[in-house]
Amino acid sequence: MKTLRIPIALQQGVMQCLRAKLAQAGEYFDCTFPEPAISFQQRGTSAGTAWLERWEIRLNPQLLLENQQRFIDEVVPHELAHLLVYRQFGRVAPHGREWRWMMMTVLQTPARRTHEYDLAAVRSLPLRLSAACPDRTPP
């Protein structure tokens, strides 16, 4: 499987967005949240995934490269909101009222559940199944 190189400017954009949104959340809740780990290992048609217990966000490198700033502005807050909701409320519905509230009120970002990126490039890549997530069982 081909490994994509993410330009440093895009990596910096991801981190700037992440840190700005973490600061917003910290100000809102009057606390400091740890910075989650970021990896560019998400595969398939998902733009990103929040790994709650690991406090990690996985981003799709192909979709990041193709959509750049739009991806950063939409996907980074989306996945961060999942982590923040888990930290504040525990396990709740993935895109339920707590998540929508976190997106709109705390992170001041539109609460969109899905992305509308062109998926042609990621659909043509071979998919790697992973059993690392205990909440998912491969078919």
Active-site amino acid positions:
79
Mapped onto helix, strand or coil, the DSSP state of residue 42 is: coil
The pair of structure tokens assigned to 44 is: 């398939």
Count other Cβ atoms within 10 Å, centred on residue 78: 24
Q: Which parts of the chain are beta strand (E)?
A: 37-39, 48-51, 56-59
Distance CA 88, CA 106 (A): 12
The pair of structure tokens assigned to 69 is: 């700033």
Contact 21, 77 (CB under 8 A): yes
